[in-house]
């Protein structure tokens, strides 16, 4: 990736963030296959889920089936051990659980909870089957959650904090907690147990996600966790949807998993299965709220499979049918009477995200309202450099300015609009200074650095700038997180061969376009840059492209598998107009093994299915301008050098 102090870097990082937030989705013209994973009771349902997700497993997680407290925090362990979650009675294994352990050839069972919950007789029964047992428990449900967290990872970078006084919020985060192996910490409403306090003091967490308003987890409790972000919703179903939307980029879009929100067991055991699919669990009831139906309908338009956890006595067929609302195949002729948006205007910050909901008045609809989806409406932004919109009405602010989002029915007969204003409230004056310094290796696979943001008069405004406004990348395979409250960045190495390599850290302020880089081998130990918000000059009509040049000698491949290269465009007078053509629509970049997006001097190469760019020796990129006929071609080696060497 580029690491010079160039505004071209900002488009790359914005594009990466947008791509992660709103993955490209194909239209679905057929109804998804509905699969119900269910048994006579919750124990059999857990077994059916396990057998559907695993043909063999060395491990299984065993939780108490009659009450939720100890079980709630156990979901992420399932991902760590690639294990299903099964349920047991207090004093003996249900026959279905025992048979599932045999069928899956389980060798090790991790029991969640002490002998006061799951008796020693269950442990003995397992051992008589030749199964090794490990018991994780604490003095109470809060302490048990901490003991589970310590088994998930000794150095978590993120935490989920949920109430221990009810189960739905823990179920809402269970799937994403599994996927990312994030510990789930339980707390009371207005106090924090000593076991939790002690645990917090031993870890260095970059982000704590706390679920619910202060009436669920008080500010007094919330403030004792580091780097908190509250995820809010009016009730358990609203919070379930907000959690799913918050982590939408971590989910795939092939399947939907559904469980009742009126009981804990099916969603708990289903969490391990949904995590294997990399999908969220949608909690429903007999009359699911509009937000739940809307989110379900958005996802179902591109989904091949719907998995229902639980029998018809728990979730009836009619309840699932009511979620479908009305799905219009794209090839059908639709004549809606009207399309409406839930908002006529919105204001978001640069890097902010908002979702618009479209509803259609349709004479054919059997259920009202009909929600807009990728099959029955299309979305367009009048100014995609300011705000972009996805197939599902998800909007992201890219630069300060205004844009009009238009939703149109597929037959073109009806439209609705929303004006989007994108602002940068944290920008003071017409310039800022961004600096990075003090790279320090604190562990073999972890390093830290300091960063600072000053306004035009030199005031330190680091704490006021959200981490989402600062793009951070390194020249190696790693993950990087920023803590604005301390001005600290943490790098976690993802590849053992990179541990001892020199590293280049690149920060980009997405609002101003300022880019600054620091090499671990730098003699000064710091670097800074000053700049102003990005402005896009207006080209005169007589400007013509005379040359297209692919400037990077190699293709840099990120840990995500995406490749990056740089290019330059010259006009007929030899002037560099690359930054003027932020999105060169007339120029087509292509090759045989990737799709290429171009903007602001950066080429982003997304490999085709089955292609691993890291395994190739070189790649050929061609470019041509349809207006002038100017073309070029370049062969790039697969580059492992540091980003600053690409210019």
Whether 594 contacts 620, CB under 8 Å: no
Quick one: angle between helices 95-103 and 42-53, nearest 10? 10
CB 32 within 8 A of CB 303: yes
How far apart, in whole angstroms, are the C-alpha atoms of residue 376 and residue 116? 55
Average pLDDT over residues 297-320: 86
**Residue 356 or 532, more confident:** 356
Using the predicted structure, report yes or no on whether residue 472 has a pLDDT greater than 80: no
**Neighbouring residues of 418: CB distance < 8 A, sequence distance ≥ 6:** 341, 343, 344, 345, 346, 356, 404, 405
* 3-state SS track over 519-552: ECCCCCCEEEEEECCCCCCCCCCCCCEEEEEECC
The pLDDT of residue 592 is 87
* Antiparallel, parallel or unpaired: β 158-163 and 184-187: parallel
Q: For tokens 């670097």, what's the residue?
A: 527
Contacts of 391 (CB under 8 A, 6+ apart): 22, 24, 25, 374, 378, 379
pLDDT at 332 over 50: no
In the chain, what are the domains? 29-40+251-324 (no CATH), 54-137 (3.40.50.10660), 140-249 (3.40.50.12090), 338-423 (2.60.40.1080), 432-531 (2.60.40), 542-646 (2.60.40)
pLDDT of 523: 55
Q: Is the pLDDT of residue 532 over 60?
A: no
pLDDT band at 525 (very low <50, low <70, confident <90, very high): low
Give per-residue pLDDT as tens, 197-230. 999 999 999 899 999 888 899 988 998 998 888 8
Q: What are the Cα distances from residue 287, in Å, to 37, 283, 292, 294?
A: 21, 11, 10, 13
Split at pLDDT 50, 70, 90, the class of 102 is very high
Reply yes or no on whether the pLDDT at 151 is more than 50: yes
Q: Which of 62-66, 112-116, 121-125, 296-300 has the lowest mean pLDDT?
A: 296-300
d(CA 387, CA 366) in angstroms, rounded, equals 35
Give per-residue pLDDT as tens, 550-570: 877 677 776 667 777 778 888
SS (H, E, C) 457-485: CCCECHHHCCHHHEEEEECCCEEEEEECC
Per-residue model confidence (pLDDT) at position 370? 61
Per-residue model confidence as pLDDT tens digits over 393-441: 778 777 777 899 999 887 788 889 999 888 765 444 445 676 777 778 8
Compute the radius of gyration of the chain from its Cα atoms.
Answer: 26
pLDDT number for residue 49: 96
Distances in Å between the Cα of 130 and the Cα atoms of 101, 107, 113, 186 are 11, 7, 21, 33
Does pLDDT of 305 surpass 80? yes
**What pLDDT is attached to residue 130?**
96
Q: pLDDT band at 5, cuts 50/70/90? A: very low
Phi, psi of 443 (to 5 degrees): -145, 165
Question: Who wins on pLDDT, 618 or 391?
Answer: 618
Neighbours of 314 (CB within 10 A): 18
pLDDT of residue 155 exceeding 50, the answer is: yes
Average pLDDT of the segment spanning 315-329: 69
Q: Is 470 left (phi over 0), alpha (psi -120 to 50) or beta?
A: beta
Q: What tokens were used for 10?
A: 């900002």
Residue 368: what pLDDT?
Answer: 47
What pLDDT score does 430 carry? 44
Residue 564: both structure tokens together: 């990056």
Report pLDDT for 535. Answer: 40
Question: What's residue 140's pLDDT?
Answer: 93
Q: Which two tokens stand for residue 21?
A: 């937030």
Decide: 601 and 575 in contact? Cβ < 8 Å.
no
pLDDT of 306 higher than 50: yes
| pLDDT above 80: residue 13 | no
Task: Compare 158 and 71 and report the one with higher pLDDT.
Answer: 158
Question: 276: pLDDT confidence band, cut at 50, 70 and 90?
Answer: very high
Instruction: Give the pLDDT of residue 537.
Output: 39
Q: Look over the chain and give the mean of its residue pLDDT values, rounded to a whole number.
A: 79
**Cis peptide, bond prior to residue 369, ω within 30 of zero:** yes
- Does residue 398 or residue 145 have the better pLDDT? 145
Token digits of residue 572? 């007929």
- What would the pLDDT profile of 622-637 be if each residue is shown by its tens digit? 998 877 788 898 888 8
What's the confidence (pLDDT) of residue 20? 31
Task: Write down the pLDDT at residue 530.
Answer: 61
Q: Residue 289 above 90 pLDDT?
A: no
Res. 18: pLDDT tops 60: no
């Amino acid at each position: 990736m580029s690491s010079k102090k160039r505004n071209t870097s900002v488009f790359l990082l914005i594009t990466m963030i947008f791509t992660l937030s709103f993955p490209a989705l194909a239209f679905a013209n057929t109804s998804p296959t509905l699969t119900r994973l269910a048994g006579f009771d919750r124990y059999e349902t857990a077994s059916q889920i396990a057998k559907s997700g695993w043909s063999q497993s060395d491990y299984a997680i065993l939780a108490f089936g009659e009450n939720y407290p100890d079980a709630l925090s156990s979901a992420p362990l399932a991902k760590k051990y690639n294990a299903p979650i099964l349920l047991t009675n207090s004093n003996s294994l249900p026959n279905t659980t025992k048979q599932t352990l045999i069928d899956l050839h389980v060798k090790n069972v991790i029991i969640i909870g002490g002998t006061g919950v799951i008796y020693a007789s269950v442990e003995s029964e397992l051992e008589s089957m030749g199964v090794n047992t490990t018991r994780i428990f604490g003095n109470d449900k809060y302490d048990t959650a901490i003991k589970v967290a310590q088994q998930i990872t000794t150095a978590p970078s993120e935490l989920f904090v949920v109430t221990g006084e009810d189960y739905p919020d823990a179920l809402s985060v269970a799937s994403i907690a599994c996927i990312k192996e994030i510990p789930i910490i339980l707390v009371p409403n207005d106090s924090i147990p000593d076991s939790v306090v002690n645990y917090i003091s031993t870890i260095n967490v970059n982000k704590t996600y706390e679920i619910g308003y202060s009436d669920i987890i008080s500010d007094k409790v919330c403030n004792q966790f580091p780097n908190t972000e509250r995820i809010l919703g009016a009730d358990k179903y609203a919070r379930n949807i907000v959690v799913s939307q918050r982590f939408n980029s971590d989910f795939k879009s092939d399947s939907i998993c559904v469980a009742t929100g009126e009981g804990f067991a099916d969603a708990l055991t289903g969490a391990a299965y949904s995590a294997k699919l990399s999908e969220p669990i949608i909690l429903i009831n007999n009359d699911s709220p509009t937000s739940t139906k809307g989110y379900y309908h958005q996802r179902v338009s591109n989904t091949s499979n719907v998995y229902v956890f639980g029998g018809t006595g728990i979730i009836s067929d009619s309840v699932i049918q009511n979620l479908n609302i009305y799905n219009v195949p794209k090839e059908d002729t639709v004549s809606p009477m009207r399309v409406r948006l839930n908002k006529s205007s919105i204001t978001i910050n640069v890097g902010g995200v908002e979702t618009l909901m479209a509803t259609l008045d349709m004479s054919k609809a059997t259920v009202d309202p009909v929600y807009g989806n990728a099959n029955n409406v299309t979305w367009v932004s009048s100014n995609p450099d300011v705000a972009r919109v996805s197939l599902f009405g998800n909007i992201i602010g890219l630069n300060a300015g205004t844009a009009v989002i238009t939703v149109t029915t597929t037959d073109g007969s009806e439209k609705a609009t929303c004006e989007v204003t994108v602002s940068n409230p944290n920008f003071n004056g017409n310039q800022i200074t961004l600096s990075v310094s003090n790279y320090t290796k604190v562990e073999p696979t972890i390093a830290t650095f300091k960063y600072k943001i000053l306004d035009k008069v030199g005031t330190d405004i680091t704490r006021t700038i959200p981490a989402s406004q600062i793009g951070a990348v390194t020249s190696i395979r790693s993950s990087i997180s920023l803590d604005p409250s301390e001005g600290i960045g943490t790098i976690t190495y993802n590849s053992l061969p990179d541990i001892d390599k020199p590293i280049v850290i690149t920060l980009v302020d997405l609002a101003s376009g300022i880019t600054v880089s620091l090499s671990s081998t730098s003699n000064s130990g710091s670097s800074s840059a000053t700049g102003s918000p990005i402005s896009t000059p207006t080209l005169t009509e007589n400007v013509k492209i005379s040359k297209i040049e692919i400037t990077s000698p190699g293709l840099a491949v990120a840990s995500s598998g995406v490749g990056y290269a740089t290019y330059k465009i010259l006009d007929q007078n030899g002037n560099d107009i690359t930054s003027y053509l932020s999105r060169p629509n007339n120029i087509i970049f292509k090759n045989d093994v990737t799709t290429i997006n171009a903007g602001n001097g950066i080429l982003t190469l997304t490999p085709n299915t089955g292609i691993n760019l890291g395994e190739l020796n070189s790649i050929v990129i061609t470019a041509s301008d349809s207006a002038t006929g100017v073309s070029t071609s370049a062969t790039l080696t697969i580059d492992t050098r540091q980003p600053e060497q690409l210019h």
